[in-house]
């Protein structure tokens, strides 16, 4: 009965993962609330099914869990009414603003409503992290999870590309206006591009998984590997990757495309340097990705437009860099405890200068926004989670002998590098679907390092 329950929970989790980006990237209150409830419910039932195990079977991951819990505690403190003297001592700027507003209760957050929403999101991310660790306990499940992410990315890519190629005026879902830029079911093209970067990482991880099994000792074996990669059992994955690259280029996202190609290149070089007993197929894969995707496929679907956008980018016309400049004083004013999670859009107008006329609800730099909203200590905890996960994936890529773990660790490294690059100029983690997928990769970093090889059994 417990095995059947765990299988039901696992497939329910896969359904949630596939469905996450469909309702506008889950970037609307009704959408993220629905998925939060689903994640909380699945986590509760999964915890009950693991109640006989120490720490619900999460004992190998305690150090990472402690980092998560510390971050959650810091975020919760922003929502607790505190004595005015304490708030004045630890966050003078927050105290001064609330004193001017003649509030009855003082908080570390200047927007408790938005901070409450962000807190529930953070809780759902932690639950998703634990859920992956509890339910993905075999190589089969690990591979099927990557396949689900690949399928979600391919669906989004097909949907986004076909809308543009068919010259639709309104989207099939939600009836949004369709332009010459592919956005899938997302509203913001950069969120769409970032999501594709993550799912492309999952797909490349799957290919690496199969390539690790190739043993090539002669040119004949090398040619056979190339033919198998292009035409054999791996062809479907390769086609999915090509479709996603086409859609990524059609998104016209400058940093989305840059982050993908840089992350793929850096991770490929890293893999060639540290993976032991690697096959020549790994080199073939990386070269084929560049030749086919970059120089052939993308040429017909707008890569030149992306190059032109990069070349024509003018700092005098861009205002996002000025937003970052204007937001820097916020970091010094709320360095310890932050202005409150989700409070950037309500606090920034106080610091906004006249040369920035547009309304900005995000800093267009997730590093800066997280540091402003949560404070530097909490930002350090968040950075610690990502750095620790990246270390675990690097270690797995180097130490694990099983091909599935090498492929998963490759995908994780690429996802983390790509996300870290994109965060420097945009706000990809503000989309709930993207943030959830990134949390999944954080979980996979831990699994690729700690999961034990099991005999093949029921899913």
Q: What are the tokens at 47?
A: 């915890």
Q: What are the tokens at 97?
A: 């603003």
Count of alpha carbons within 13 Å of 354, Cβ hemisphere only?
A: 0
- How far are the Cα atoms of 152, 182, 261, 270, 328 from residue 266, in angstroms, in the given order? 25, 26, 9, 6, 30
Task: Report if residue 331 sits inside a domain.
Answer: no
Burial class, 228, CB count within 10 angstroms (exposed 0-12 / middle 13-18 / buried 19+): middle
Per-residue pLDDT tens listing for the chain (459 residues): 478 899 999 999 999 999 999 999 999 999 999 999 999 999 999 999 999 888 899 999 999 999 999 999 999 999 999 999 999 999 999 999 999 988 999 999 999 999 999 999 999 999 999 999 999 999 999 999 999 999 999 999 999 999 888 888 787 777 778 888 999 999 999 999 999 999 999 999 998 887 645 455 566 665 666 566 555 557 889 889 989 998 998 998 888 988 998 898 899 889 888 877 666 666 777 677 666 666 655 565 555 655 565 555 544 455 566 788 888 999 999 999 999 999 998 898 888 875 655 667 788 899 999 999 999 999 999 999 999 999 999 999 998 878 899 999 999 999 999 999 999 999 999 999 999 999 999 999 999 998 886 656 556
The neighbouring-strand residues paired with 170 are 177
pLDDT of residue 131: 97
Number of domains in the chain: 1
Distance CA 437, CA 137 (A): 18
Task: Report if residue 110 sits inside a domain.
Answer: yes
Task: Report if residue 278 sits inside a domain.
Answer: yes
Task: Report if residue 416 sits inside a domain.
Answer: yes
pLDDT of residue 212: 46
Q: What are the tokens at 414?
A: 């690429």
Task: Report if residue 351 sits inside a domain.
Answer: no
Question: Is 0.85 topped by the overall pTM?
Answer: yes
Task: Report if residue 295 sits inside a domain.
Answer: yes
Task: Report if residue 324 sits inside a domain.
Answer: no
The range of the structural domain enclosing residue 74 comes to 2-314+363-450
The three-state (H, E, C) secondary structure of the chain, written as one string = CHHHHHHHHHHHHHHHHHHCCCCHHHCCHHHHHHHHHHHHHHHHHHHHHCCCCHHHHCHHHHHHHHHHHHHHHHHHHCCCCECHHHHHHHCHHHHHHHHHCCCCCECCCCCHHHHHHHHHHHHHHHHHHHHHHHHCCCHHHHHHHHHHHHHHHHHHHHHHHHHHHCCCCECCCCCCECCCCCCCCCCCHHHHHHHHHHHHHHHHHHHHHHHCCCCCCCHHHHHHHHHHHHHCCCHHHHHHHHHHHHHHHHCCCHHHHHHHHHHHHHHHHHHHHHCCCCCHHHHHHHHHHHHHHHHHHHHHHCHHHHHHHHHHCCCCCCCHHHHHHHHHHHHHHCCCCCCCCCCHHHHHHHCCCCCCCCCCCCCCCHHHHHHHHHCHHHHHHHHHHHHHHHHHHHHHHHHCCCHHHHHHHHHHHHHHHHHHHHHCCCCHHHCHHHHHHHHHHHHHHHHHHHCCCCCCCCC
Task: Report if residue 130 sits inside a domain.
Answer: yes
């Amino acid at each position: 009965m417990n095995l059947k329950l765990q299988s039901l929970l696992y497939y329910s989790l896969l359904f949630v993962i596939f469905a996450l980006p469909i309702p506008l990237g889950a970037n609307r209150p009704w959408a993220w609330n629905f998925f939060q409830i689903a994640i909380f419910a699945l986590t509760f039932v999964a915890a009950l099914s693991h109640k006989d195990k120490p720490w619900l079977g999460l004992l190998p991951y305690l150090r990472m869990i402690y980092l998560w819990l510390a971050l959650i505690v810091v975020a919760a403190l922003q929502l607790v009414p505190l004595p005015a003297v304490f708030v004045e001592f630890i966050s003078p700027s927050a105290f001064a603003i609330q004193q001017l507003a003649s509030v009855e209760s003082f908080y570390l957050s200047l927007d408790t409503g938005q901070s409450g929403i962000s807190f529930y999101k953070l809780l759902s991310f932690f639950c998703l992290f634990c859920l992956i660790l509890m339910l993905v306990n075999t190589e089969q499940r690990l591979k099927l999870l990557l396949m689900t992410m690949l399928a979600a990315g391919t669906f989004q890519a097909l949907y986004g590309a076909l809308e543009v190629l068919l010259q639709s005026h309104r989207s099939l879902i939600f009836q949004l206006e369709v332009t010459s830029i592919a956005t899938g079911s997302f509203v913001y093209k950069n969120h769409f591009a970032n999501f594709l970067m993550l799912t492309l990482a999952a797909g490349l991880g799957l290919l690496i998984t199969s390539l690790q099994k190739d043993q090539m000792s002669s040119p004949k074996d090398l040619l056979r590997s190339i033919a198998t990669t292009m035409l054999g059992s791996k062809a479907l994955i390769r086609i999915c990757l090509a479709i996603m690259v086409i859609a990524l280029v059609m998104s016209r996202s400058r940093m989305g495309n840059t982050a993908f190609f840089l992350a793929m290149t850096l991770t490929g070089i890293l893999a060639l340097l540290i993976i032991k007993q690697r096959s020549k197929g790994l080199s073939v894969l990386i070269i084929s990705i560049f030749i086919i995707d970059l120089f052939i496929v993308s040429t017909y679907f707008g890569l030149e437009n992306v190059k032109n956008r990069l070349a024509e980018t003018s700092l005098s016309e861009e205002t996002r860099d000025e937003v970052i400049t204007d937001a820097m004083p916020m970091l010094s004013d709320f360095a310890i405890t932050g202005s409150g999670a989700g409070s950037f859009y309500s606090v920034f107008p106080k610091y906004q200068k006249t040369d920035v006329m547009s309304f900005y609800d995000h800093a267009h730099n997730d590093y800066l926004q997280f540091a402003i909203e949560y404070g530097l200590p909490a930002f350090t905890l968040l950075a610690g989670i990502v750095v620790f996960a990246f270390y675990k994936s690097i270690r797995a890529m180097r130490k694990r002998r099983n091909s599935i773990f090498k492929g998963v660790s490759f995908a994780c490294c690429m996802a983390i590098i790509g996300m870290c690059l994109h965060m420097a100029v945009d706000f990809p983690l503000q989309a709930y679907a993207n943030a959830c997928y990134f949390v999944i990769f954080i979980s996979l970093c831990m699994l690729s390092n700690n999961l034990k090889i099991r005999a093949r059994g029921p899913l």
